[in-house]
Amino acid sequence: MADSHDNLNSVKKAIAIFEEVGCRLIIHAGDFVAPFTARELSSLKCPLKAVFGNCDGEKIGLEEAIRSFGEIRPAPLIWAEDNLRFLLTHLHHEVELLAHSGRYDIIIFGHTHRPEIRRIGQTLVINPGETGGWLTGKSTIALLDPLRREADIISL
């Protein structure tokens, strides 16, 4: 998920879907804005990995809200899991360049509020769109299946 921008109602809808599918990791590509919706994600009992977006001014508040069940850091956040190399960032500008480097299996970003899933070489590039829905009127998330290396955009 990305760009939830304080929309508690949409975050709750996303949580219901994550619960239903038995999500093992929540990934947020930035722009929670205030910490209260981040706190809401702790109900899922699975870890959260997140990066700060350009609208995440309350950095200490967000870190405190997330500390007990995950992490939020300045972008990019890079880790390996399920034999996949992940890169999580907020802004879109360098995504193509990073994908063409071939160093990452999965690149997740946000900021544009436009959902997109595409392959660049061997890299699966995912923008889950905006959870908040304020800009486009469409609240979306993405579900990633790490075994199939495939993702789907889900409307909330």
- Tell me which residues touch Mn ion (CB under 5 A): 31, 53-54, 111
- Three-state SS at 24: coil
Q: Which is nearer to Mn ion, 23 or 55 (CB)?
A: 55
Task: Name which of 2 and 44 has its Cβ closer to Mn ion.
Answer: 2
Nearer to Mn ion, 53 or 132 (CB): 53
Number of Cβ within a 10 Å radius of residue 88 = 25
State the amino acid at position 8 in one-letter form. Answer: L
Least distance to Mn ion, CB of residue 67, Å:
23
Burial of 89 (0-12, 13-18, 19+ CB in 10 A): buried
With H, G, I as helix, E, B as strand and everything else as coil, classify residue 95: helix
Residues paired with residue 84 on neighbouring β-strands, in sequence order:
81
Rounded to the nearest whole angstrom, what is the least distance from the CB of residue 102 to Mn ion in the complex? 27
Smallest distance from Mn ion to CB 134, Å: 12
Nearest-approach distance from CB 23 to Mn ion, in angstroms: 23
Find tokens 């300045």 and name the residue: 74
What are the phi and psi torsion angles at 52 (to 5°)?
-75, 140
Q: Which is nearer to Mn ion, 54 or 122 (CB)?
A: 54
H or E segment to which residue 118 belongs: strand 116-120
Closest residue to Mn ion, based on beta-carbon distance: 111
